[in-house]
Structure 1
Amino acid sequence: MIPEIGHFALVLGLFVALVQSVVPLVGAQRGNLAMMEVARPASVALFLTIGVAFVALTHSFLVSDFSVSNVYMNSHTDKPLLYKITGVWGNHEGSLLLWILILAVFSLAVAVFGRNLPPMLRARALAVQAMITVGFLLFILFTSNPFERIDPAPLNGRGLNPLLQDPGLAFHPPMLYMGYVGFSMAFSFAIAALIEGRVDAAWARWVRPWTLLAWIFLTLGIALGSWWAYYELGWGGWWYWDPVENASFIPWLSGTALLHSAIVVEKRDTLKSWTILLAIITFSLSLLGTFLVRSGVLTSVHAFATDPTRGVFILLLLAVAVVGSLSLYAWRAPQLKGGGVFAPVSREGTLLLNNVLLSTAAATVLLGTLYPLFADALNLGKVSVGPPFFNAVFVPLMIPMIVVMALGPMLAWKRGDALGAAKRLWLALVAAAAVFAATYVVAGGAWTDVGAAFGMGLGAWLLVATGVEWAERVQLFRTSPANSLKRAVGLPRAAYGMSLAHAGTALLVMGIVGNTAWKAESIQVMAPGDVVEIGGHSYLFEGAETVDGPNYAASRGHFILRDEDGTALARLDPEKRQYTSPPQTTTEAAIHSDGITDYYAVIGDPSPDQGPGAYVTRFYHEPFVPLLWYGALLMGLGGVVSLTDRRHRVGAPTRARARGAAASAGGAVAPTGASARV
């Protein structure tokens, strides 16, 4: 009965979404306030209906109702409670329902917290958001029903993919979807602005919090997925330019560009048309990522569906969204008035260059990801585009961007002094040179170490420059400590958020460069008592034992990690697990970290022909990997701090409304300009 309630709630949600997508839009066109206000209760009703459906599916997983096909295919009675819950979104149908729920959550958030938005803009944005929801509800109801029944009901289920039975994967998909779907709100605001024919500083101030929120979740979601791949798959890597990894990274790049472009619109009332286009492209790339994951055109541990019918439906949805929005943009964008001019050397100029580099990087990664698919579809043969291509084209684009990230905040708006900014960054330049020289000498002084030393110096340049920029803001050492403290307390939180995000980027760069350059690997067969040395440390193999888990059996190895002096640092117990439902083998790495370097051990298959108790083992020396996680967390924290800035919460400029005329006209309302309230 409960699955039927969930299914009925989805159908009811479809009709609510249809009302929300039509009535407020017509009301905005006619200037009818009553019709525009329908968007708010409709958003609440839509959230409730989708919420009921999601709770119904979760209940089916919790009670192991195997009469529901989705539960039968992705759950088992032996599965721990956490993975019964995460099984709800660990499959195509459930993850799609989660996607729709998040769409409804964002719509509800705008309806509840967007009271200071102009009624016309709010009504149109919520209507566009509802149109997106209609498309996905049609998709789930006609091709991916999560409540489909099986008769007779099986006694037990097939179980969840063991690779997904991990705490990291329990939270990775929801965070990633919050990022993907969050950009739908920026898209909805962009389409609403195009319909209204108005983009100004107020619009940018309204759209920035939603873009920033989506960026935070996507940043942390990608980092969490990378962390999961690092410790769960047992290959010692954290990024492989997998097509499905790229599917999340591409909208992150364009979303980062959108975030910076919106700043220019807000501060200088320029780059309006470009910002609207970025909002459209970013969400379109999120939809493209959905198509890649769910169409069956890619084979990946991350991919869900392989049904061609679903792929065609998503492709149609993608085509309608992209073609429709770009057609509207082509029609209305020329009517958007341009803003103030600015010199190439200025804060706006560096942000524009940032946009160009990020957009080019996104296009490059997109091309590398899609080219093999096009080649295969056109019978041009099987083509593989892997890390060598992406590293060769992506890295050169990021170098100038990092240089500009340090210079940009030091420049004035409209017209800046590049030489003056460079002079104020002398400490950052000295730090970069010192790190370059020290790294080069410690690494051995070979020509092959020049690139790595340069990368570490580049990270130091950005890190120190970020600190210098903050010191300049508070006039550190240029005025009294009390005055500097007062200025520091008075700085906008958005300024602190920018500093944290840029510092996180610097750590991320240093982590990537250091690990790529100096990672070491050792693969061998070991018998109990054998010792292997790698990275200045040794691993003593004490043997292995068989252990039983909740729904698996495992071979657990025991290693003692020692430093150069022979002092025991840690006991490492990696596992090789064999799951029964469904039958699959997974690797659980054991990792010891000192905060800068990870020591990584993996146990493989037994090798009895090499002696009793012998096993294949792998060890990885992973320098600077922790900097990746520090950097990603710092970037996310920077976004959160910036989001708490009062200007993002209650300080958006409001447009004056002809309330008296609206009341006398029976609820009609028309915007008459922008007020000066901040």
Structure 2
Amino acid sequence: MIPEIGQFALALALMIALVQSILPVLGAARGNLLWMRSARASSIAQLVFIGIAFLALTRSFIVSDFTVANVVENSHSLKPMLYKVAGTWGSHEGSLLLWVLILAAFGAGVALLGSNIPDALKARTLSVQAWISTGFLSFLILTSNPFERIFPPPLDGNDLNPLLQDVGLAMHPPLLYFGYVGFSIVFSFAVAALIEGRVDAAWARRVRPWTLAAWMSLTAGIALGSWWAYYELGWGGWWFWDPVENVSFMPWLLGTALLHSAIVTEKRDAFKSWTILLAILTFSLSLLGTFIVRSGLLTSVHAFAVDPERGLYILGLLGVSIGGSLGLYAWRAPAMEGGGLFAPISREAGLLVNNLLLGAATGTVLFGTLYPLFMEAVVGTKISVGPPFFNAAFIPMMLPLVVVMGFGPFLSWKRADLKGIFQRLRFVAVLAGLSGLAVWYLTEGGPVLAYLSVAIAVWLLLATLREWTTRIRLFEVPFADAMRRARNMPRSSHGMTLAHAGLAVAMLGFIGSSAWKSEEIVFVQPGAEIAIAGFDVRFDGVERVQGPNYVADRGTLTVTRDGDPVTILYPERRFYLVAQSSTTESAIRSTLAGDLYASLAEPASEDTAASGAWTLRILYEPLVNFIWIGAAMLVLGGGLSLSDRRLRVGAPRRAITPAAQATPAE
């Protein structure tokens, strides 16, 4: 009965979305306030009914209701409860239900929190959001029903993909989807502004909080997925330029450009066309990623390779959404230009360079991702575009961007004094150069680009800190006064500082773990010792252990340094009985200086397994934890900016002055 309630709730949500997609926008066109305000109730109702459907599916997984085909295919009665719940979004159907739930949540968020948004703009925005909901709800109901029954029910399920039975992967999809789908509301604001024919500073101020919330979540989702790949897959890498990784990275790049472009629109009433176009393209790339992942074009650990007919449905949605919005943009955008003029050396110019470089980088990743698929579809030839291409094409574009980021906060609006900025940053430039030389002196070789990249990362970090100390006049005024100035600074300024510094810290992790990684892959028997990065690792053997829904071969590695004990590592090779598949569980000794990483591969043969001989992979990855620290700083910086009272979504309230409070008798 519960699954039928969920299916009925989805059907009701679709009908509400259809009404919401038409009535409010007609009300805005005719000036009918009642029709416009109906969007608020319909947005909330849509969220309620989709939430009921999602809870119904979650309940089916929790109680192991094997009359539901989705539960049979993605769960098992012996699976730990966390992964039963995570199984709700571990399939194509369940993840799509989560997608429409988040889509409805953002619409309801604007309806409830957007009290300062004019009725006509809000009505049009929520109608556009409902157009998107209608498309995905119809897709879900017609082609991907998560509540499809199966009779007679099997005694047990097929289990979730073992690679996905991990805490990191349990949280990764919701965060990623919150970012993907979060850009839908920014897209809806952009299309509503195009319909209305007006983009101004107030519009940009209303869009920025939603853009920031989506960007933060996408940042956290990408970082969590990268962390999962690092410790779970057993190869010791955190990014492989996999197409599924790329389709999440491209919206992040354009979303970053959108955040900065919206600042110019808000502050200077400029870059209107840029901001609108970036809003459209960012969500369009999210839709493109949905098509690639779900169309059957790719087979990946985290791709849903399904019936290509479903891909055609999504392709149709993609064509209508992107084609319609870009057509509307082409019609309306020429009338949007305006705003203040600015000199070639100014903050506006710096942010323009930011947009251009991020746009070019996104185009490069898009080309590298789609070109193999295009070649296979047209000529039937399978080719691979991997890390060598992306590293050679992407990194040289990003390094100049990081250099500009160091200058950016020092630039004034309209016109900046470049000579004065150089004077303030010359000491920073000297320290950055010396840091690159120091790393060259301390390391035993490495690519020249790595030393240059270290210098640029240190440049960004020190320039960011220099700008913050200049703002609060640290070392120029008494410390108490400097701290008072820091407390009185807008939170968005602190957020910018933390985010820019976070990128610099993450860069150090990217560089260190890529350029100076040490790796040993050896065939070992108990008692064998391996030397790596100053550590001595002794392989003590393997024992069989029982897990909740798997059996594992657990290795024991004793780590010493100069004869002194350091730690004991326990890498595992797990075998899931139901899924009949194996996974690698790495063992990691983490410090700020770097990680000692060990993973156990399958034995070469049954004979070698009987003798206790295994293939062992040991790596030392310098500074790799700086990646996760930097990502956390990026997210926290975004959170600080989002908490700034100037970016609150609700309407500001005028403070009541004492004079206004006084009564005539007084």
- TM-score when normalising by structure 1: 0.95
Q: CA deviation at 1:401?
A: 0.2
TM superposition shift of 1:481: 2.2
SS in 1 for 2:568: strand
State the number of aligned residues: 651
Preserved CA contact (<8 Å) 2:522 2:615: yes
* Cα separation, 1, equivalents of 2:126 and 2:387: 41
Residue 474 of structure 1 deviates from its aligned partner by 0.8
Q: Are the equivalent residues in 1 in contact too, given 2:114–2:650 (CA < 8 A)? A: no
Q: Distance in 1 between matches of 2:442 and 2:448?
A: 12
Q: 3-state DSSP class of the match of 1:37?
A: helix
Which range moved further: 415-424 or 108-117? Answer: 415-424
The equivalent residue for 2:659 is: none
CA distance in 2, matches of 1:342, 1:134: 43
Q: Distance in 2 between matches of 1:538 and 1:126?
A: 61
Matched, 1:576 2:580: no
User: 1:465 matched to which residue of 2?
Assistant: 463
Counterpart residue identity of residue 578, structure 1: F
Aligned to 2:132: 132
The answer on whether the counterparts of 1:202 and 1:653 sit within 8 Å (CA) in structure 2 is: no
One-letter code aligned to 1:399: L
Cα distance between partner residues in 1 of 2:152 and 2:380? 47
Separation in 1, partners of 2:337, 2:312? 39
2:641 corresponds in structure 1 to: 642
1:599 to 596, 614, 622: 596
**1:172 match:** 172
- Which sits farther off after the overlay, 378-387 or 10-19? 378-387
* CA distance in 1: counterparts of 2:420 and 2:432, whole angstroms: 19
Deviation of residue 126 (structure 1)?
0.6
SS of match in other structure, 2:306:
coil
Name the CA distance, whole Å, in 1 between partners of 2:309 and 2:579. Answer: 26
**Partner Cα separation in structure 2 for residue 198 and residue 44 of structure 1:** 27
| Residues 611 and 441 (structure 1), Cα distance of their counterparts in 2 relative to 1, 3 Å cut | farther
Distance 1:62 1:380, change over 3 A: closer
Deviation at 1:175, TM superposition (A): 0.1
- Paired with 2:557 and 2:283, the residues of 1 have a C-alpha distance of 47
1:99 alignment counterpart: 99
Residue equivalent to 2:631: 632
1:36 touches 1:123 (CA, 8 Å); kept in 2?
yes
Whole-Å Cα distance in 1 between the matches of residues 565 and 447 of structure 2? 31
Taking a change above 3 Å as real, the CA distance of residues 452 and 160 of structure 1, as seen in their structure-2 partners, is same
Residue in 1 that maps onto 2:661: none
- Give the SS at the match of 1:151: coil
User: Cα distance, 1:650 vs. partner?
Assistant: 5.5
Is the deviation greater in 130-139 or in 423-432?
A: 423-432
1:428–1:462 Cα contact (<8 Å) kept: no
Instruction: For residue 380 of structure 1, report the CA deviation from its aligned partner.
Output: 5.5
Secondary structure of the 1:636 match is helix
In structure 1, C-alpha distance between the alignment counterparts of 2:583 and 2:609, rounded to whole Å: 23
Map 1:84-123 to 2 at 5 A.
84-123=84-123
**Kept in 1: contact 2:113–2:649 (CA 8 A):** no
**Counterpart-to-counterpart distance in 2, 1:59 and 1:489:** 47
1:442 corresponds in structure 2 to: 442
1:627-663 deviation per Cα after TM superposition (whole angstroms, max 9, x unaligned)? 1001101001100011000001168689xxxxxxxxx
Partner of 2:484: 486
Corresponding position of 2:662: none
Q: Contact between 1:213 and 1:643, CA under 8 Å: does it hold in 2?
A: yes
Counterpart-to-counterpart distance in 2, 1:374 and 1:362? 18
1:517 and 2:518 are equivalent in the alignment: no
Say which SS state the counterpart of residue 425 (structure 1) adopts: helix
Counterpart of 2:612 in structure 1 is 613
Are the equivalent residues in 1 in contact too, given 2:114–2:651 (CA < 8 A)? no
Residue matched to 1:155: 155
CA drift at 1:430: 2.0
Specify the code of the residue in structure 2 equivalent to 1:639.
G
Contact 2:115/2:651 (<8 A) preserved? no
Which deviates more from structure 2 when the two are superposed, residues 367-376 or residues 417-426?
Answer: 417-426
- The TM-score, its normalising length taken from structure 2, stands at 0.96
1:36 aligns with 2:33: no
The amino acid across from 1:208 in the alignment is R
Amino acid at match of 1:150: I
The amino acid across from 2:229 in the alignment is: A
Q: Say if 1:67 and 1:153, in contact at 8 Å, map to a contact too.
A: yes
Helix, strand or coil: the match of 1:554?
strand
* Separation in 1, partners of 2:651, 2:410: 26
- Give identity over the alignment, percent: 59
Deviations 1:81-121 (A, max 9, x none): 00000000000000000000000110111111001111111
Written as runs of structure 1 = structure 2, the 5 A alignment for 1:222-371 is 222-371=222-371
* SS of match in other structure, 1:157: coil
Letter in 2 for 1:466: T
- SS at the partner of 2:188? helix
The one-letter amino acid paired with 1:132 is I
**DSSP-derived class of the 1:117 partner:** coil
User: What is residue 496 of structure 1 aligned with on the other side?
Assistant: 494
1:149 maps to amino acid? R
> CA separation in 2, counterparts of 1:502 and 1:428?
15
In the alignment, which residue of structure 2 is the partner of 1:675? none
1:534 to 515, 519, 532: 532
Aligned AA (1:548) = Q
Contact 1:160 / 1:581 at 8 angstroms: preserved in 2? no
Unpaired runs of at least 5, structure 2:
654-666
Residue pair 2:535, 2:560 contacting (<8 A) in 1 also: yes
TM-superposition CA deviations, 1:486-535 (whole Å, max 9, x none)? 21111100000000000010011111111111001101111111110011
Q: How much does 1:155 deviate?
A: 1.0
What's the counterpart of residue 658 of structure 2? Answer: none
5+ residue gaps in structure 1?
Answer: 655-678
User: CA separation in 2, counterparts of 1:465 and 1:521?
Assistant: 34
Q: Distance in 2 between matches of 1:496 and 1:566?
A: 46
On the 8 A contact 1:199/1:336 being kept in 2, the answer is yes
* Contact 1:427 1:464 (8 Å CA) reproduced: no
Code of the residue aligned with 2:620 in structure 1: it is H
Structure 1 window deviating more from structure 2 (75-84 vs 333-342): it is: 333-342
CA distance in 2, matches of 1:618, 1:286: 36
1:6 aligns with 2:6: yes
In structure 2, the residue matched to 1:384 is 384
AA aligned opposite 1:638: G
User: 1:192 maps to what in 2?
Assistant: 192
SS at match of 1:525: strand
* Alpha-carbon distance, 1:361 to partner: 0.2
Distance 1:609 1:113, change over 3 A: closer
Range moving further from structure 2, 196-205 or 429-438: 429-438
Deviation for aligned residue 1:443: 1.3
The corresponding residue for 1:65 is 65
Separation in 2 of the partners of 1:308 and 1:609? 43
**RMSD of the alignment, in Å?**
1.2
In 2, distance between residues paired with 1:485 and 1:627?
A: 28
The residue type equivalent to 1:588 in the other structure is E
Check if 1:416 corresponds to 2:399: no
- Equivalent position SS for 2:557: strand
| Whole-Å separation in 2 of the counterparts to 1:166 and 1:240 | 20
Task: Output the amino acid matched with 2:612.
Answer: G
Question: Contact 1:443–1:449 at 8 Å: present in 2 too?
Answer: no
Q: CA deviation at 1:305?
A: 3.1
Contact 2:273 2:333 survives alignment (8 Å): yes
1:587 aligns with 2:584: yes
2:483, 2:597 → 1: CA distance?
44
**Does structure 1 residue 404 correspond to structure 2 residue 404?**
yes
Aligned equivalents of 1:366, 1:604: Cα separation in 2:
34
CA contact (8 A) 1:202 1:652 kept: no
